[in-house]
Amino acid sequence: MASRPFAICLFGLQRVVFIAVMAIAGVSAIPHSARAADPALYEVNDVQVDATAESAAAARNEALASGEREAFHRLIRRLTMRENYNRLPNPDRATISTYVRDFSVSDEKTSSVRYLAKMHVRFRSRDIRQLLSEFGIPFTETISKPVLVIPVLERNGSYSLWEETNDWRLLWSNLSSNDRMAPLMHPIGDLTDISKIGAQHAVSGDTGRLQAMLERYDSTAVLVVHAVLNTTVANVNGLEVYITRYSPTDGIQRRTSRYTAPATETIGSLLASAVADVSISVEEGWKRENVMNMGDRGVLPVSVPIKSLPDWLAIQSRIAEAAVVSQMEVVLLSREEARINLHHLGDLLQLKVALAQKDLRLVQLEGAWAIHAE
């Protein structure tokens, strides 16, 4: 049976206490817009621009327009899946400028005919959402907490993880997490890391040691990428990548990817191709699981245990930042709990995942839903 929203109905002394506390907190008991999108999500950084024209002013105008266009395309590719890239809108410069909230520039260099700089562009989230919805393109706004990557290289039966000879780990550590909805994190490889987990522990999926690494880096999941290089056969190099994903909620999940390349191609190039492919599959998998359906909406009555008013305000802020939360009604506030009607996009699983990225746990006990801060 679906849960029914809480009714805003308070009596006697409880009503007086509720109104007084709400007034002090500056919180309304009527529905309010819970969130704008995560500001960082609709911000594109480090856009390099370089233009030459008849004058410095003309070069600057050309560079800034070009930078806005590049930032726009980086943004919509970040939000959407690769299978839809060929359907993405391609508006003209003037239209793109209407989507820009503001921008800043740094590292400017100019001459009489040339302009170089680095741009940081912020877009209007509502306009971008509307644009993608009009084109019928699925998108996500939920950013995953970083996933910790542990790269193990096996060559001729010999394993390497923390050794400097592990080119596979070097390639992963050089991978940028810019513009990713599922950012990747890389262990520093110090003595603490070495003592917590070795190559054989990682490959075997030792959950105790994987959990220790997860806790050290405050990550929600660990991804062991075990690359096995095969000896050249018939002028072809082979690479098998055994991928083990561990999280406390989902346990161990495994899959395998295989790659081949002509013997004329360097091993480094083959490894780099595999890094790109596996990282893309992680990103695409996250997006697919967290696509926002603007037409699929629900309301969930939720209780939130709290310790104090500041505690509630902090938790309220984190709830509001969850991507799929569209509106929140506070219907009761006491010293021990807040009761809210949570308006959300998508299904309950997507709501759980979005809240989990803010260190909030949505649980059901005896038919009632509650949010616990971690």
HEC-encoded secondary structure of 204-245: HCCHHHHHHHHHHCCCCEEEEEEEEEEEEECCEEEEEEEEEE
Whether residue 230 sits in one domain with residue 356:
no
Is 3 a domain residue?
A: no
Q: Look-up: residue for tokens 């206490």?
A: 17
Whether residue 106 sits in one domain with residue 172:
no
Is 60 a domain residue?
A: yes
Structure tokens at 308: 């104090």
Per-chain mean pLDDT for the chain: 87
Residues 6+ apart with CB under 8 A from 100: 68, 121, 122, 123, 124
Containing 51, the helix (H) or strand (E) segment is strand 43-52
Residue 335 exposed, middle or buried by CB count within 10 Å (0-12, 13-18, 19+): exposed
Q: For position 271, what pLDDT does the model report?
A: 94
Is 142 a domain residue?
A: no
Residue 344 exposed, middle or buried by CB count within 10 Å (0-12, 13-18, 19+): buried
Is 75 a domain residue?
A: yes
End position of a domain, from candidates 99, 134, 169: 134
pLDDT in tens, 7-20: 544 433 344 344 44
Q: For position 25, what pLDDT does the model report?
A: 44
Please name which of 282, 286, 284, 290 lies closest in space to residue 347, comparing C-alpha atoms: 290
Whether residue 119 sits in one domain with residue 51:
yes
Q: For position 117, what pLDDT does the model report?
A: 96
Query: With contact defined as beta carbons under 8 Å apart, do 346 and 292 qualify?
Result: yes
CATH number of the domain residue 277 falls in: 3.40.50
Whether residue 161 sits in one domain with residue 119:
no
- Domain range for 172: 147-289
CATH number of the domain residue 47 falls in: 3.30.1660
Is 7 a domain residue?
A: no
Q: Look-up: residue for tokens 């509307």?
A: 130
End position of a domain, from candidates 110, 134, 158: 134
Containing 277, the helix (H) or strand (E) segment is helix 267-289
Interior angle at CA 118, CA 114 and CA 123, nearest 5:
120
Q: What does the alpha-carbon distance between residue 319 and residue 374 come to, in Å, rounded to a whole number? A: 13
Whether residue 95 sits in one domain with residue 153:
no
Is 140 a domain residue?
A: no
- Structurally, the chain folds into a number of domains equal to 3
Query: With contact defined as beta carbons under 8 Å apart, do 223 and 257 qualify?
Result: no
Whether residue 269 sits in one domain with residue 159:
yes
Whether residue 251 sits in one domain with residue 156:
yes
Is 113 a domain residue?
A: yes
pLDDT in tens, 272-284: 999 999 999 999 9
End position of a domain, from candidates 289, 312, 340: 289
For the chain, residues with pLDDT lower than 50 are 1, 8-36
Whether residue 303 sits in one domain with residue 205:
no
Structure tokens at 132: 């993608």
Q: What does the alpha-carbon distance between residue 245 and residue 247 come to, in Å, rounded to a whole number? A: 7
Is 167 a domain residue?
A: yes
Find the largest Cα–Cα distance for the chain.
85
pLDDT in tens, 115-148: 999 999 999 988 999 999 999 999 999 899 899 9
Q: What does the alpha-carbon distance between residue 182 and residue 256 come to, in Å, rounded to a whole number? A: 20
Whether residue 265 sits in one domain with residue 186:
yes
Whether residue 24 sits in one domain with residue 78:
no
Q: For position 5, what pLDDT does the model report?
A: 58
Q: What does the alpha-carbon distance between residue 275 and residue 292 come to, in Å, rounded to a whole number? A: 28
CA dihedral 333, 335, 337, 339 (to 10 degrees): -10
Whether residue 175 sits in one domain with residue 246:
yes
Whether residue 279 sits in one domain with residue 161:
yes
